[in-house]
Amino acid sequence: MTHASPATASADSVTRYRARRRHQRRLIAGLAVLTLGMCLADIATGPGQYPLQDILAALVAPGDVSQTLRVIVWEIRLPVALMAVLVGVSLASAGAEMQTILNNPLADPFTLGISSAASVGAALAITLGVSVIPLAQPLWVTGNAFLMALGASLFIWGISRLRGVSVQTLVLMGIAVMFFFNAMLGLMQYVASAEALQQLVFWSLGSLGKASWDKVGLIAAALLVTLPVFLHAGWRLTALRLGDMHAKAMGIDVARLRLRMLLCCSLLAAMAVAFVGTVGFVGLVGPHIARLLVGEDQRVFLPVSALSGALIMSLTSILSKTLVPGILLPIGILTALIGLPFFVSLILRSRREVWG
């Protein structure tokens, strides 16, 4: 945590606090600008090479550019770039809150098997045409993904409430959940038709390629619902980091808070999986960066986690298009390659019982 403060050590505590808050606000603004820049770079990157000013012109005044460029920017690249940002925000926010409520730095929708569960839900709709709850057909994939993600979250939540359950047990349980749902996914792949199989591969590798405006709208709506819930519970979530007993002493209904937050996390994870497939470790790395930069005060921890997640996803989107010229690499593979070293370093840190 960097409590960088331009104020002198002799300044009173309120002055030093205000200086730190100013620094944090500047950091958040800086990350937001960086994310915007990365998003623009993402839009400017693709098989067709266009000068940046043409891309900007297409964004600002679509009527003034060629129809081809307009279609490329507005129908293909912009939804993909926005989806990358929104999925990054969703996964990192969900990861940040899961780490908070489960008191576990290794928790994120991917490591705890929630993304795998959502994938199975999506696969049920694709291969078997099954909807777990009665919904309009276009929502089957999302609805199934949400319910399965919720089921997996509640299972993990139930396990976390048992006496004597350590951080390591919880992560191992998450791996067990992941194995179970991966086996279910394997089974569905085995029985799937060739067309359905192709779509299933999309879930397991993760791709921004099927982004569209309606999907962007849906995931933005999910964020509009969940982020205010997270922000409203900010102080209570920060209190939870002091331990359950301290939070209860402050009159916080810890069990209800955990359940409500898990519900929101499941929704975000399910949306991300339903639209771009399984994307691992963004929910782990985003909060990890935020913790190092600003600590765990939710007023800054959440926005910095979310923006870090957005930056990682935007960067991954650019890399997926540029690493191997002419080939669009699945983003799930790239986030795994970036995220795994973080995961290993966190396991080694938790071995020293940083969180216990």
Instruction: Of 79, 112, 31, give the one whose Cα is nearest residue 207.
Output: 79
Q: Are 87 and 219 in contact (CB under 8 A)?
A: yes
Q: Computed over its alpha carbons, how large is the radius of gyration of the chain? A: 21
Q: Are 91 and 283 in contact (CB under 8 A)?
A: yes
Assess 296 for contact with another protein (CB under 8 A).
Answer: yes
Which listed range, 3-11, 82-90, 185-193, 263-271, lies at the site for another protein (CB under 8 A)?
Answer: 3-11
Assess 17 for contact with another protein (CB under 8 A).
Answer: yes
193 contact partners, CB below 8 Å, separation of at least 6:
127
The residue (of 164 and 326) whose beta carbon lies closer to another protein is 164
Element (H, E) at 22: helix 13-44
The residue (of 225 and 250) whose beta carbon lies closer to another protein is 250
Query: Total residues contacting another protein (rule CB under 8 A)?
Result: 33
Out of 297, 319, 342, 347, name the contact with another protein by CB under 8 A: 297
Which listed range, 76-84, 266-274, 295-303, 313-321, lies at the site for another protein (CB under 8 A)?
Answer: 295-303
CA distances from 223 to 83, 94, 169 (A): 12, 10, 30
Place of tokens 């909807």: 131
Which listed range, 15-23, 34-42, 72-80, 81-89, lies at the site for another protein (CB under 8 A)?
Answer: 15-23
Assess 236 for contact with another protein (CB under 8 A).
Answer: yes
Q: Are 300 and 28 in contact (CB under 8 A)?
A: yes
Assess 54 for contact with another protein (CB under 8 A).
Answer: no
Assess 26 for contact with another protein (CB under 8 A).
Answer: no
d(CA 226, CA 94): 9
Assess 111 for contact with another protein (CB under 8 A).
Answer: no
Residues 242-271 that bind another protein (CB under 8 A): 242-243, 245-246, 248-253
Which listed range, 75-83, 154-162, 186-194, 288-296, lies at the site for another protein (CB under 8 A)?
Answer: 288-296
**352 in helix, strand or coil?**
coil
Tokens describing residue 243: 């331990």
Which listed range, 135-143, 183-191, 233-241, 311-319, lies at the site for another protein (CB under 8 A)?
Answer: 233-241
Burial of 201 (0-12, 13-18, 19+ CB in 10 A): middle
Shortest separation between residue 84's beta carbon and another protein, angstroms: 28
**Residue numbers at the binding site for another protein (CB under 8 A):** 1, 3, 5, 9, 12-14, 16-18, 20, 235-236, 238-239, 241-243, 245-246, 248-253, 291, 295-297, 354-356
